A and B are shown apart, each in its own frame.
Chain A
Amino acid sequence: MTPKDHRNLERAMPWIVIIGSILLWQAAVRLFSIQEFILPAPTDVYAALIKYHEPIFASAWFTLVNTMIGFGIGIVVGVLLGIVIGSSRLAYAGLYPVLVGINSIPKAAIVPILVLWMGIGQPPAITTAFLLSFFPIAVNVATGLATTEPELEDVLRSLGATRLDILWKVGIPRSLPYFFASLKVSITLAFVGAVISETLASNDGIGYLMVQAASQFRTPLMFAGVTVIAAMGIATYVVFALIERRFTGWATRRQDVPVAGGG
């Protein structure tokens, strides 16, 4: 196999795996004649997706909006918290244990409380999406700030730089790769949060659609819902991965650039 073939194969691998597992799934369902309400074949899922595309996409849009609003709030809060924690030892000591505690609570357990305060539907979905997504952002931004080389800080301080100068010129640019890496993690968590809340307390959204479908044993529809959530998750991940590459190319050194030698 030439290196070019190998590269092409590498690029094709995700598709080979996805298509292969769908074929395997289809074959297994047909071969063992599994009933549709237990495990529908991919063709049944596809049929449901076409048949119910209107309610599915309306629900998906609702979920996407909730996710994005919650995620947006998560970015703002996460970045601010991260800056505070990452640049002050006192804030770190005080806030970090609390954040870890909040993060370790299963968010499904919080939703009933949120419903008590906010009612059902959009508000608890947005809040749950936010609660799940801000933590990785805060931790990563803080880590990025904390990894500023002490020597560089000395260099800048001996030039008369204020803490704000150092944060602005060094800390924030340095934490950008960490920030973008955390966005990819957080956006998928935000989806999880929104869907959890919708399954528990909503009359709209993919989560609600799935609960409804389940109560009527419409398994192909449930799988169609899962497929749409997965597709949205992958799509948003790709968007943030592209943004990451655009803004922090310096952190992922490309191998094809000539490296200058000499003393």
Chain B
Amino acid sequence: MPSLPLTVENAAAVERAAAAPFVEIDNVDLRYSEHADTHALTALQMSVAKGEFAAVVGPSGCGKSSLMKLVTGLLPPTSGTLSVAGKKVMGPLKIVGMAFQNSTLLPWRNILENTMLPLEIVQPHRAQLRSKRKEYEAIARGLLESVGLAGFEKRQPWMLSGGMQQRANLCRSLVHSPELLMLDEPFGALDAFTREELWAVLQDLWMQRRFTCILVTHDLREAAYLADVVYVMSARPGRVIATHRIDLPRPRTVASTFEPAFVDMVHRIRDQIAQARTPRKPSVGSEQGVA
């Protein structure tokens, strides 16, 4: 039977593809110059599977934002290799969704127009935008509705509260259905209640769409609430000192952040970061999990 070995081979290929990480960072160093103070990341090792939600936490100045730029190809690593979707990252990736602490909505566009900005840039949407305007608008409206912004499409950004602006920002980063979403402290500037609301919004979006997501944050509860896996980074030059799998069932709620297993996990991560902040060498590469 000629078909049998082929099938087996296919199955193996499929399995290999599934096991192969979507984002792979292998022994990456990043220096902004020869000066020792500008050594941002060292021997960075990280791999995020397709559809996985990863969070990166660490003391301030540990190079979390540099990591964002590395993965999206906006900065080349000084040494080491970095690949996304099986391809080595050589320049800016063209399909990534990104959102920052500052919502960076364009003040001269209304919320709907802001949300549709990526469609004006990313191919093939860019070429089709004119002819399929209605369809694209429906996508954007649907997305806005799913984060609770229905009825605000025609408002200008400054008419919205910070939390609503950040919801719109999330929609903008997802409107072109990116396979990879990079979030840099997206809820950092919001009050505690709004932040918790938006955790749920982001979790819902992720559970529906299952994009691969890397969230950089300093909020440990946020990391543990949202992520499948939390990477703890050391002080500058940053490297991964611990990896935690969060196996809590989804959808998680704010109530689940008060369960003992969750609190315990947050405390352990906190201790590791406290150690990382002090000059003495922290323990390296501990792998832990929580049920």
> B residues within 8 A CB of A173?
106, 108
Is the Cβ of A169 less than 8 Å from the Cβ of B164? no
Q: Cβ of A14 < 8 Å from any Cβ of B?
A: no
A157 to B121 alpha-carbon distance, docked (Å): 9
Q: Given A260-B160, A263-B194, does the pair A159, B95 have CB atoms closer than 8 Å? A: yes
Q: Name B121-137 residues within 8 Å CB distance of A.
A: 121-123
Q: Name A120-179 residues within 8 Å CB distance of B.
A: 149, 151-152, 154-161, 165, 169-170, 173-174, 176
> A residues within 8 A CB of B100?
151, 154-155
Other-chain contact of B96, A159, A169, A250 (Cβ < 8 Å): A159
> B residues within 8 A CB of A257?
159
Is the Cβ of A165 less than 8 Å from the Cβ of B164? no
- Looking at the assembled complex, report how far the CB atom of B114 sits from the nearest CB atom of chain A, in whole angstroms: 11
> B residues within 8 A CB of A211?
none
Is the Cβ of B98 less than 8 Å from the Cβ of A263? no
Is the Cβ of A260 less than 8 Å from the Cβ of B156? no
Is the Cβ of B198 less than 8 Å from the Cβ of A263? yes
Is the Cβ of B121 less than 8 Å from the Cβ of A158? no
Q: Cβ of A251 < 8 Å from any Cβ of B?
A: yes
Q: Name B148-190 residues within 8 Å CB distance of A.
A: 152, 155-156, 158-161, 163-164, 172-173, 176, 182, 184
Is the Cβ of A160 less than 8 Å from the Cβ of B92? yes
Is the Cβ of B163 less than 8 Å from the Cβ of A154? no
Q: Cβ of A259 < 8 Å from any Cβ of B?
A: yes
Other-chain contact of B164, A151, A152, A248, A260 (Cβ < 8 Å): A260
Other-chain contact of B118, A159, A174, A248, A263 (Cβ < 8 Å): A159
Is the Cβ of B197 less than 8 Å from the Cβ of A158? no
> B residues within 8 A CB of A263?
161, 163-164, 193-194, 197-198
Is the Cβ of B96 less than 8 Å from the Cβ of A158? yes
How many inter-chain contacts with C-beta < 8 Å in the A-B complex? 87
Is the Cβ of B159 less than 8 Å from the Cβ of A154? no
Is the Cβ of B104 less than 8 Å from the Cβ of A159? no
> A residues within 8 A CB of B72?
154, 157-158
> A residues within 8 A CB of B69?
154
Is the Cβ of A169 less than 8 Å from the Cβ of B102? no
Q: Which of A154, A161, A259 has the most CB of B within 10 A?
A: A154
- Looking at the assembled complex, report how far the CB atom of A79 sits from the nearest CB atom of chain B, in whole angstroms: 18
Is the Cβ of A158 less than 8 Å from the Cβ of B182? yes
A155 to B49 alpha-carbon distance, docked (Å): 23
A31 to B32 alpha-carbon distance, docked (Å): 75
- Looking at the assembled complex, report how far the CB atom of B21 sits from the nearest CB atom of chain A, in whole angstroms: 19
Which residue of A is nearest B94, CB measured?
A: A160
Is the Cβ of A151 less than 8 Å from the Cβ of B161? no
Is the Cβ of B104 less than 8 Å from the Cβ of A158? no
Q: Cβ of B117 < 8 Å from any Cβ of A?
A: yes
Is the Cβ of B121 less than 8 Å from the Cβ of A262? no
Q: Given A155-B173, A160-B95, does the pair A149, B197 have CB atoms closer than 8 Å? A: no
Is the Cβ of A260 less than 8 Å from the Cβ of B152? yes
Which residue of B is nearest A155, CB measured?
A: B98
A155 to B96 alpha-carbon distance, docked (Å): 8
Q: Given A149-B102, A173-B106, does the pair A260, B95 have CB atoms closer than 8 Å? A: no
A239 to B176 alpha-carbon distance, docked (Å): 42
Is the Cβ of A169 less than 8 Å from the Cβ of B121? yes
> A residues within 8 A CB of B107?
250-251
Q: Cβ of A261 < 8 Å from any Cβ of B?
A: yes
A156 to B94 alpha-carbon distance, docked (Å): 9
Q: Cβ of B120 < 8 Å from any Cβ of A?
A: yes
A154 to B158 alpha-carbon distance, docked (Å): 22
Which residue of B is nearest A176, CB measured?
A: B108
Q: Cβ of B263 < 8 Å from any Cβ of A?
A: no
Is the Cβ of A262 less than 8 Å from the Cβ of B73? no
- Looking at the assembled complex, report how far the CB atom of B183 sits from the nearest CB atom of chain A, in whole angstroms: 11
A70 to B249 alpha-carbon distance, docked (Å): 71
Q: Cβ of A246 < 8 Å from any Cβ of B?
A: no
A53 to B80 alpha-carbon distance, docked (Å): 80
Q: Cβ of A11 < 8 Å from any Cβ of B?
A: no
- Looking at the assembled complex, report how far the CB atom of A169 sits from the nearest CB atom of chain B, in whole angstroms: 7
Query: What 3 A-B pairs are tightest by C-beta distance, nearest first?
Result: A160-B94, A263-B163, A152-B104
Q: A173-B106, A251-B108 are in contact. List 7 more A-B contacts (CB 8 A).
A: A154-B69, A158-B72, A159-B94, A159-B176, A169-B106, A169-B120, A250-B158
What are 22 contact pairs spanning A and B, CB under 8 A? A151-B102, A154-B68, A154-B74, A155-B98, A155-B100, A155-B173, A158-B73, A158-B93, A158-B94, A158-B182, A159-B118, A159-B121, A170-B106, A176-B108, A248-B108, A250-B108, A250-B156, A251-B108, A253-B158, A258-B159, A263-B163, A263-B194
